Amino acid sequence: MPLKMYILGIGAGIAATATMDLLAAVFNRAGLTAGAKGQWVGRWYLGMLRGRFVHTDIAACPEQDGEKRAALVGHYVIGVVLAVFYVAGAKWLGRSPDGFFLAMGYGLATCVFPWILVLPALGFGACGWKGPPELKLFRSSVMNHISYGLGLWWSAKALFLV
């Protein structure tokens, strides 16, 4: 993949992740979603640096310095890496990254990460089914990751990734 595509993938990843965050805030205010707290994910990231990958209840673990910053940095790094893979994959398939259904499908497919990795590691079980109902974990991940796909689509259009 040419350097230009990596750069455009990075831009799309930042834009898509920001779109996800913006719409997550809107959905949260509307009461449609809640989700796991960002600092819990940051606590999980920092715990991994110390060799702890799985928690029974991340909320019960002691707070750590820098967990909000770790969550934000990790969130954007993952968003960028996934977008670079998206751009490369679209090109490999001979498709334009600015395809609406391709971007939305990819965004939805990224739900697999919270469902089988993040939520169980935080102590909420696969798909978040063991988490507190008020967190609406499954719905939150679906809506947020569809928002990520929407961000991929519009940023691909804006960055002329065709």
Average pLDDT for runs of 10 along the chain of length 162: 86 97 96 91 94 92 94 97 96 93 97 96 95 94 98 91 51
Q: What is the full DSSP assignment across 10-25?
A: HHHHHHHHHHHHHHHH
User: Residue 62, SS3?
Assistant: coil
Location of structure tokens 């989700």: 35
Which residues, in sequence order, are CB contacts of 130 under 8 Å at separation 6+? 123, 124
Q: Is 37 left (phi over 0), alpha (psi -120 to 50) or beta?
A: beta
pLDDT at 161: 53
pLDDT at 2: 83
